[in-house]
Amino acid sequence: MYYFYENEVYIFRQEINVDKYEIEQLKKQIIKNCSRITHMEYDSDYAPRLNNSLVRYYKETFVGYKDYFEESRRVMHYSYDLFIPPKLVKLIDRLLNDDASVIAEINNYNYKSEITIDDIINAKKDELEITDKNSYSEKIRILNDLEKLAYDKELNKNQQSTEEFYHKLLSMIIMKNPIMYRKKDLREFMYFFDVDIKIENGVHVSLEKNAPKTLKKTK
């Protein structure tokens, strides 16, 4: 996998080597230790589509039947804890799929920007403060949300920042054999061979042949 980047004078190419198995294991650790956990509990006649790696304590209980015209459907009560992974997990997925363009995003990743359960609780409290005092139903809804968030906060008391795991990820991305090419020389190459060279999202360089020129016959 190669990654291309540039400055005002040069275009650079670096080879990227990663141990996908080790990074996959790191991803699992991040999901387990850094995800925001929320408890889900509801009745439904549709089974939820869940990623088993993001769910724990799954339980379903038969409630009864719900009629839809000529059809009766089984209604189940679902209860489980759902793991909501940090953005870093999505970046790792792209890296595992050989998307070299993600390198710049990984380098610029800010672990401090990840939303925590406290951020959500504070935002909900702010919402309560600005809600019209006569909007009783709205206030009750927000208070119910805060009650659930208080429960979720207890679920998240042992969760960690992604900081340590992020620095570990950086150490696992090996960039070597850098090659640089002067843009001035590149322009001369393009002119000589009548092609355009484009860097596409840092992934690869493509050559595009320009439209053929019509030559006039000389008498």
Is residue 73 in a domain? yes
For residue 165, being part of any structural domain is answered with: yes
Q: Which residues pair with 44 in a beta bridge?
A: 76
Q: Does the residue 219 lie in any domain? A: no
Give the mean pLDDT of 178-197: 75
Tell whether 7 is covered by a domain: no
In tens, the pLDDT along 87-134 reads: 999 999 999 999 988 998 999 999 888 888 999 999 999 999 888 878
CB-based contacts of 107-113 (< 8 A; 24+ apart in sequence): 107/170, 109/166, 111/86, 111/161, 111/162, 111/163, 111/166
Per the structure, the complete domain to which residue 149 belongs is given by 17-176
Structurally, the chain folds into a number of domains equal to: 1
pLDDT at 213: 46
Query: In the structure, what pLDDT confidence band is assigned to residue 209 with cuts at 50, 70 and 90?
Result: low
- On whether residue 8 sits in a domain, the answer given is no
Tell me the per-residue pLDDT of 35-65, one tens digit each, with 9 for 90 and over: 999 999 999 999 999 999 999 999 999 999 9
Around Cβ 89, how many Cβ atoms within 10 Å?
20
Does residue 189 belong to any structural domain of this protein?
no
Q: Is residue 210 part of a domain?
A: no
Low-confidence winner among 24-28, 150-154, 167-171, 184-188 (lowest mean pLDDT):
184-188
Instruction: Give me the pLDDT at residue 115, please.
Output: 87
Asked if residue 203 is part of any domain, the answer here is: no
